[in-house]
Amino acid sequence: PDVIIEAQFDDNDAEHGQDHLQDMLTDDIKKLSLDTGEKGKAAGVTGVHRTKQDDGPKVNDPRLLPDEFLQRTAKVVYILEKKHSRAATGFIKLLADRNSELFKRCAMFSPVDHRVPRVYVPLADCPPDFVTKPEAYSQMLFICRIVDWKEDSNFASGQLCKSLGQAGEIEPESEGILTEYGVDFSDFSPEVLECLPQNLPWVISSGELAKRRDLR
C-alpha cells in the first residue's frame, strides 16, 4: 500500500487495451517478488513458515522497483524570484452581498487575464461616486497591484493604482499590457537624453563605419 506503481506505455501498448497493461504489471510484480525471495534464500533465511497472507508480492521497498515505476516527488522550499509583476488590468464592481461588512469596505477587482485571481480592493481606492454609480465604471479599465493573499481567503488583497480609461481603446489597453509585464515606458530622463548627439543632423563618421559591421 506504500508503493504506487505507474506504467509507461506508448501507442502500441494502448492498442492492446487495459488487459495487456494489467498483464505487464502483473508480470513485473511477480519478477520483483521472485527477486526478493531469492535474496532471502541467499542470506540464509530458511525454514520460516509463511502464512497465506504473506503470499502476496513483496514490493513495499521502493528500492526494489525499476526506475520506470517510480514517480519523482519534490516540494518548494524557497522562492528565489517573483517573475510576475503582481499588476493586472481589469474592472471593478460591487460585492454581491450588500449586507456583509466586507461590502462596506471593499470592492471586487476582476482581471482581464483569467490566470490572475480576483482581488479585494479598498473602496477608498475607488472613485468617490463608485458606490452610488457603479454602472458608470463598468467599462472603465483599472490597474490593480496584488499586495497579499491570505491562506484562508479565496481572493487576494490589492490596491488600485490608477484608472486607464475606457476598455477597447488603444492607449488604455496598451498601457495595461505594458504595466502587467513590468515594462518601463516612462519618458527618458534629461541625463539619458544628454548622452545623445546634440549637433543635429548627426551622421556616422567614415572612421566609425570602418569599425562596425554593416547590418543594414
Q: What is the pLDDT of residues 103-129, one digit of tens each?
A: 989 999 999 999 999 999 999 999 999
C-alpha cell at 213: 559591421
Per-residue model confidence (pLDDT) at position 75: 93
pLDDT tens-place string over residues 75-112: 999 989 888 889 999 999 999 888 888 998 999 999 99
Residues 92, 119: Cα–Cα separation, whole Å: 9
The fold adopted by the segment(s) 87-181 is OB fold (Dihydrolipoamide Acetyltransferase, E2P) (2.40.50)
Per-residue model confidence (pLDDT) at position 5: 55
Question: Is residue 117 classed as helix, strand or coil in its secondary structure?
Answer: coil
Q: Which regions of the chain are under pLDDT 70?
A: 1-26, 28-59
* Vertex 193 angle, CA 189 and 198, to 5°: 155
From the number of C-beta atoms within 10 Å of its C-beta (0-12, 13-18, 19+), residue 173 rates as middle
Per-residue model confidence (pLDDT) at position 27: 72
C-alpha cell at 43: 542470506
Per-residue model confidence (pLDDT) at position 14: 46
pTM higher than the cut 0.85: no
Per-residue model confidence (pLDDT) at position 37: 55
